[in-house]
Structure formats: structure tokens, C-alpha cells
Chains A and B, each alone.
Chain A
């Protein structure tokens, strides 16, 4: 299949970028979206142009590296997948495809389609962990009885790969779905309850400092999330945060 690409090109974090047109021919419908970009880069290198920079690592939907806004949607038009799992058969011969980086003040562009998502790392460092004594006498996690429903919900929240699609797709560039998943995966389990209050307070505080927007409950994040993280988590974060604010301060 032959395609017209409109790709965001930006030299570095400080220079202004722009969409650039590229024509690409004979793309296999069975290739992945990132393989199509590999093909484009081969063309660019052959013609002496700078290849398009884009994030990728595992290419099997679990690392959260790939981050493209394809044709107006995070990770492209399909649901519950990352860009690396998007296949060219989702498009038609002759299609024009817009490829843009995830846009948010808290995700500044480093180059072309690569954005700096270290704001997520800083939110995690503010409280996305449990403190465990690893002196050698660590209690077996399975020794603590946990209701199946809680374990399932915690696991669902823990499937968040931190890709940032929620931020990219939210009209407010809010990081609430990400933060709520990271808070929920611990707050539902006894191991996470010890630090539950400080975790909610510190992670939300860091989220606000990073310049993400405020959640207006549009639900767009839940639809575009490659892992199907539910809005229930955002309500849980609201409960955790408000409860902690009132009792702890």
C-alpha cells in the first residue's frame, strides 16, 4: 500500500517544529506501524536526510515506550493497544496519516516524535512504592490473605505501563488516570495501606507541580488507554486524596 505521511519534525527541544510530508510506497499491510516508520527512515537515510526520531523498545505492548498520536488519537485508531501493536491493515491504500508527538506542557518534545516523560518518573518517586525491609527476613507476600476481588483490581491497576496516552488524549493534559492507577495498585493491598495517605498526598502534589491539567471526567483517557485502566481508579484516587487531606493535612 502507498501512503502519504504528515510527520512532526522538530530538531530539538528549543527550536520550533512543523509537519512535513513524506510519500511512502509498497508498505505491507501486515507490517506494524513502527516497521512502517523504520521503512521511512531507511528511505530518509538513503537520501541523506535525518531519520525521524521516535520512541520504541519492546515492540510488544508492554514497555510503554512508544508514544505516537496517530491520525488524531493516542496510539492510533484501534483500542486497547500501543502504537507498536497497531498494524498497517488498519489503514487503506492512499491514506494520509498524521503522526504527532504526545502533546502536553509536562511532556516537552526532545526531538521529532520523542517526548520527555520523566515527569511520570518524578511522580512515581514521590510515592509510587512500598517500603519493605529487605534484610533477608522479608515476609512472604502470599502469607497475607487478600480478597480475590481486591487482588484483581490491584492487578488491573498495576497493568498501567506509564505510556502517557491518558495525558496525550485528555483535553486538559491531565495525568489523573496514570496517578490513580499507581495509587490504586498499592492502596487496595495490605502492603500498600501503611503509606497510603502520604502516597496519595505526595503523588498528587508532584502531579500538580509538573504542570498537568485538571481532570474534567470526560472519560477519554479510559477509552484510549492501551491497558484499559478504568475511571474507577480516578474516583479511588479522589477518595484517597480527599480522605488523606482531611485527616493528615
Chain B
């Protein structure tokens, strides 16, 4: 019965959205920390780091949890969005949602879809190439992901796509983080305003720094 409640009920399905969402947020921090080496690090250092991230057993195990979280977040989100649409078969002729809620909070499915499409393109460009592609070696005999990344971001259209997708991610997280806390039942008049502020600052800091990388590479 308990598994039924956690899998089939509306609140149970939202719990998974919150847990996977927060896990993905944690991943973003690690991912950003590594990627910032493209700005301040060296080619050898970045390639060594990439090699470590694809071979170290503990990271490998975590990466499977990450893939599962992405899939669960996307599939569960799609199913929830579909049942939400079905809950109002006849729509209003005149509706002013902007009077009572933020655009980001009402557009999570759209913003999530943009992020998913981005993720597929992103993984094809780098993750697939690193894992299964034919990749040149650097001077130290390591897979030269650094050069592949630099070459990709020297294409202005590709960099622009990244910046646009990071804006979508910023909006998605600006509502998603505080929403996850609320779904987990963590709402308190003393802490919630702080959680909301943190969620918003974190969202735009993360997406801003991620967007900075292709801009930086393109400009230098």
C-alpha cells in the first residue's frame, strides 16, 4: 500500500519530482565547478579531470543515479503535466494568471522541455563523444575533450543556443528549488522567504556562470 501512495498519488509523484530535481541541482554545482576549468584551467588539467570523471568507480555509480534521475524527472514531469491539462478540459475565455503567479511557476513544463532538448544536444556533443566517439589524444595520451569543447563553442550559433537554454534553466530553477522545498513539506514563515531568495539567487548564479563559459570561449 505504501508503495502505491508514493507512486500513484499526486503528492507521491510530486515527491519524486522534488527529490530528483534537488539531486540534479546538486549535480549542476559539481558540473559547474568542473567546467569552470575551461575558463581558468589548462588543457591538460581539464582532460585529466574528464578522464577521472569517466573512470573513477564512485563517480561512475553516481552517474547511473544521475541518468535515472534525469529520466524519472522528465517522465514523471510529463505525466503530471498531462494530467494537469486534463484537469481543465474547457479553458477560460478571459484569464489573468499574471495577477496571481509568476510566469516561471506556470511554465515549468515548457522550461523543462527546453532543458531536456538542450540536454540531448549537449550529451550528444560531449558525453557521447567522450564515451563512444573517436576522440583525438592530447600530449599526455588522454582523450582531448578540451579541444572538442573549445571547437564547439567557437561556433556562434552553438554558443547562442547554449545561452538561450541557460536562460530557460535559470527560470526553471528559480521556481523549481523553492517548489521542491514546499513539496517536501518544508515551509515555515521564518525560513521560507529565505529559501525563495536563495532559490532565485542560486538559479541565476548557476545559469549565469554556465552561460559565461561559451561566451568566454567564443570571445577569447
A, B assembled together = yes
Which A residues are closer than 8 A to B by beta carbons?
6, 8, 19, 69, 71-73, 77, 98, 100, 103-106, 169, 171-174, 201, 204-205, 207-208, 211-220, 223-224, 231-232, 234-239, 241-242, 245-246, 248-249
Asked whether A232 and B187 contact (CB < 8 A) given A98-B94, A216-B108, A219-B100, the answer is: yes
Say if the beta carbon of B220 comes within 8 Å of chain A. Answer: no
Contact between A245 and B12, CB atoms less than 8 A apart: yes
> How far is B90's CA from A243's CA once the two chains are assembled, in angstroms?
35
Contact between A103 and B185, CB atoms less than 8 A apart: no
Contact between B2 and A245, CB atoms less than 8 A apart: yes
Return the chain B residue nearest A235 by Cβ.
B187
Contact between A249 and B93, CB atoms less than 8 A apart: no
User: How far does the Cβ of B76 sit from chain A's closest Cβ, in whole Å?
Assistant: 10
Contact between A246 and B2, CB atoms less than 8 A apart: yes
User: How far does the Cβ of B69 sit from chain A's closest Cβ, in whole Å?
Assistant: 19
Say if the beta carbon of B134 comes within 8 Å of chain A. Answer: no
Contact between A219 and B89, CB atoms less than 8 A apart: no
Contact between A241 and B88, CB atoms less than 8 A apart: no
Residues of chain A with a CB closer than 8 A to B93's CB: 6, 8, 19, 98, 100
Partner of A103, one of B5, B91, B101, B187: B91
Say if the beta carbon of B105 comes within 8 Å of chain A. Answer: yes
Return the chain A residue nearest B11 by Cβ.
A241
Residues of chain A with a CB closer than 8 A to B101's CB: 171, 218-220, 223
Asked whether A204 and B10 contact (CB < 8 A) given A103-B91, A106-B87, the answer is: yes
Contact between A218 and B10, CB atoms less than 8 A apart: no
Asked whether A219 and B105 contact (CB < 8 A) given A72-B94, A224-B100, A239-B185, the answer is: yes
Say if the beta carbon of B55 comes within 8 Å of chain A. Answer: no
Cβ contacts B184-201/A at 8 Å (1 or 0 each) = 111111001000000000
In the complex, the 8 A-B pairs of residues with the closest C-beta atoms, listed nearest first = A235-B187, A213-B87, A239-B185, A249-B2, A72-B96, A245-B5, A249-B1, A172-B84
Say if the beta carbon of B167 comes within 8 Å of chain A. Answer: no
Contact between A220 and B84, CB atoms less than 8 A apart: no
Partner of B84, one of A19, A106, A213: A213
Partner of A242, one of B90, B106, B185: B185
Asked whether A217 and B106 contact (CB < 8 A) given A208-B10, A223-B101, A224-B100, the answer is: no
Partner of B97, one of A171, A204, A207, A237: A171
Contact between B100 and A217, CB atoms less than 8 A apart: no
